[in-house]
Amino acid sequence: MQKVFSDKVFFFFSLLMIAVAIFVSINKFYITKNYDFFVEVSCEEGEEGCLSRNCETEECPPNGLEHYKEYSISAKDFELCENEDCTELCKQTDICQEAQ
C-alpha cells in the first residue's frame, strides 16, 4: 500500500514539474518575449562601426553581407522590422542596441 502511494505522489510531482517547465517556456518565448535577436544590418565600407568579412575566403551568411553592423533587438521589437529586415528600423530609431 505504501509503495502505491509513493508511486502516485512521484507521478503527480513529475507531471507538475513538466507542466511548470512548459508554462515557463511559453511565458518566456511567446507571451513576454524576454530574449534578444542579433541582427546584421548593411552599411557602407569605411562607415564608423562597420565590420567587414571577405565572402570569397570566409563563410558568408545567406544575405551575403560583406560590410555590416551588428545590432541587438528585443524579440518584442523585432515584430516592427519590415519583412524581418531591421535595416531601416535600426538606422532611424534607437530601438536597436549596437552589439559590442
Spatial distance between the Cα atoms of 88 and 80, rounded to a whole number of angstroms: 10
Count of alpha carbons within 13 angstroms of residue 14, beta-carbon side: 6
pLDDT tens digits for 46-88? 788 888 888 888 888 887 888 888 999 999 999 898 888 888 8
Spatial distance between the Cα atoms of 96 and 89, rounded to a whole number of angstroms: 8
R_g over Cα of the chain: 22
Structural domain range at position 21: 1-32
Are 48 and 65 found together in one domain?
Answer: yes
Are 40 and 85 found together in one domain?
Answer: yes
pLDDT tens digits for 3-30? 777 889 999 999 999 999 999 999 999 8
Are 49 and 18 found together in one domain?
Answer: no
- pTM for the whole thing? 0.68
Are 57 and 25 found together in one domain?
Answer: no
Are 42 and 71 found together in one domain?
Answer: yes
pLDDT for 10 equals 93
